[in-house]
Amino acid sequence: MEILFKILNRRKLVDMAMTTLLWWLRPIKTTTKTAAKEEEVEEPLSPATRVFHTPQMNCCIVAVVGCKTVIDVEVIKEGIYQTFVKHPRISSKLVFDPKKLGKPIGWIRTKVDANNHIIIPNLNPQMDSPDEFIDEYVSNLAQTPMDLTKPLWEVHILNTKTKDANSIAIFRIHHSVGDGISLMSLVLACTRKTSDPNAVPTFPTENKKKKKLLVDTSNSWFLWVCFLWMMLAFKMFWNTIIDLCMFLATIVFLKDTKTPLKGSVGTERAPKKFVYRTLSLDDIKLVKNVMNVTINDVVLGITQAGLSRYLNRKYGESKGAGKVQQNNLPKHIRLRSTLLVNIRPTSKLEHLAEQMETDDPKKRKWEWGNSIGYILLPFHIALRDDPMDYIRSAKATIDKKKRSLEAIVTFMSARIVLKTLGLGVVAGITHRVLSHTTFSFSNVVGPKEEISFYGHPMTFLAPSVYGHPQALTVHFQSYMDKMTLVLAVDKNLIPEPQLLCDDIAESLELVKQAVQKIKVFKI
């Protein structure tokens, strides 16, 4: 999933260059003949979409949604017919090459029957632990392949009460339908504010003060500004070169250290377990404001701290009882996450909502598909005396990545390799990069007020993904005053992911206590 996409979208010159390159690398429309009739591919598959249908990268996005009320299935069906299925990708199915069985080559529109996409399992109303049941249900869902003969999405409705909700809806959408940011935007475009049923959700925005720079070319200030711009350009160029060298080394030979979190061969097919934990967004904002950092810096920092605590305990356990030392971590642990960045600007919720509600096809202008680049994000694993050092380290890492074009260049390179060497090479490279790193990480901004999904008020939103060759996936999703931490793990390698949730939650509490002392001292 994408924490730097806003920054990349603000680079106008980069956007112009990307538009030109994407036109040159655009897919070619094709037609295919089947035994029964000739089908015209209405839209060819994008390069990333084709990769997501290879055996080693067959990925799906799942999102668990908690609701305050019991879900009315008929109301959900009617809402889906009125909005959701009007999106062309949601109402399209795959077209397969008749000469190569199982190879998809494009999309074609079809009539959607919501009854084939809404699943309502029979539940035991007297079940002992509904929360554990939901976790197991999602885990079992990850082991069930999707039906490729119909549009690639499902909604599972479970009217059972959990600790955080009175009912649960689980969305499962194949990753080939779109990138994570686009798909979550599409789902949220079907929601409305509980306080105003006609208004789409609003998201937190950064307070930016626009500074007007008046340059007088007759004095030295003009030369000084030019010098600064040249330095920034050189720094971005240098950081990009370093990042690309590391990326190339990762493809060829550079692997992360083998730790209790590092997957092995076949991890993408291993049973998955999904757990989530609700954190206080107010606590995260407190750390953000006192340390003068971003929310991304904080969530990355507490994840870094939580992973350090978890690994230290695991290495201590491996030494046996009585031999556990305060610091059990090996020296020089290389541990990196992959971060997916949406290159193309995502449509605004207002535009998506308007296009889904209109009955005039001419007014629907969709920009869709998987346009994603990769970033390799290093995590510094160590035990630190000052919990705030984890946040400072995360900020330094993110600031460096902000001054790099790694995501854009990896995206463009993938398109070029696909055009020249074919899908097999791109899929192999992608699989190799993911298998040589430890986990995936993302932080997605959600609505800041309560929203309703077709009249059902939501209590939380917990998205994740499975099917990639990594044993751990970490997602953060904000909603109102909450931050939901979602872990997707290899059950064989990480049998108790709740412990990792505890470590990350405890890390946030320790950082919060540290910044509160600073705040009191300043007062």
- pLDDT at position 362, please? 54
Angle between helices 406-421 and 423-436 (to 10 degrees): 140
Query: Mean pLDDT in the chain?
Result: 82
216 or 196, which is more confident?
196
Asked, for residue 132, whether it belongs to a domain, the answer is yes
The least confident of 55-64, 303-312, 354-363 is 354-363
121 or 34, which is more confident?
121
The least confident of 21-35, 209-223, 409-423, 448-462 is 21-35
Asked, for residue 212, whether it belongs to a domain, the answer is no
Asked, for residue 56, whether it belongs to a domain, the answer is yes
Sheet hosting strand 272-280, strand order edge to edge: 272-280, 482-490, 472-479, 439-444, 335-342, 372-379
Name the pairing type of β-strands 104-109 and 43-44: antiparallel
pLDDT by residue (tens digit) across 303-313?
999 999 999 99
Residue 381 has pLDDT above 90, yes or no: yes
Asked, for residue 154, whether it belongs to a domain, the answer is yes
185 or 221, which is more confident?
185
Asked, for residue 435, whether it belongs to a domain, the answer is yes
And the tokens for 189?
A: 């475009």
8 A C-beta contact, residue 211 and residue 187: no
- pLDDT at position 48, please? 74
- pLDDT at position 303, please? 97
- Kindly list the distances between the CA atom of residue 236 and the CA atoms of 13, 151, 230, 402, 405, in Å, as whole numbers in the listed order: 14, 42, 10, 9, 7
**Domain assignment of residue 451, given as a range:** 5-25+40-204+232-522
8 A C-beta contact, residue 92 and residue 110: yes
Q: Could you tell me which of 435, 434, 429 has the C-alpha nearest to residue 417?
A: 429
Percent of the chain with pLDDT over 70: 80
The CA distance from 20 to 263, in Å, is 39
- Kindly list the distances between the CA atom of residue 517 and the CA atoms of 286, 289, 522, in Å, as whole numbers in the listed order: 12, 14, 9
Residue 278 has pLDDT above 50, yes or no: yes
- pLDDT at position 360, please? 54
Mean pLDDT over 186-207 rounds to: 80
Per DSSP (E only), the strands in 69-159 are: 92-96, 104-109, 118-119, 153-158
The CA distance from 379 to 425, in Å, is 28
In a 3-state reduction of DSSP, which class is residue 104? Answer: strand
pLDDT by residue (tens digit) across 202-224?
877 655 444 443 344 445 565 66
Band of pLDDT at residue 104, cut at 50, 70 and 90: confident
In a 3-state reduction of DSSP, which class is residue 57? Answer: helix
Q: Whats the size of the chain, residue-wise?
A: 523
Check which CATH number belongs to the domain holding 63 and give it: 3.30.559.30
Residue 144 has pLDDT above 60, yes or no: yes
Q: Which residues are catalytic?
A: 175
8 A C-beta contact, residue 488 and residue 466: yes
- pLDDT at position 14, please? 43
- pLDDT at position 324, please? 45
8 A C-beta contact, residue 387 and residue 20: no
8 A C-beta contact, residue 447 and residue 194: no
Asked, for residue 348, whether it belongs to a domain, the answer is yes
Residue 137's φ and ψ, nearest 5 degrees, are: -65, -45
Asked, for residue 366, whether it belongs to a domain, the answer is yes
Number of domains in the chain: 1
The CA distance from 97 to 105, in Å, is 6
Largest CA distance in the chain: 81
8 A C-beta contact, residue 124 and residue 132: no
pLDDT by residue (tens digit) across 496-522?
999 999 999 999 999 999 999 886 655
Asked, for residue 287, whether it belongs to a domain, the answer is yes
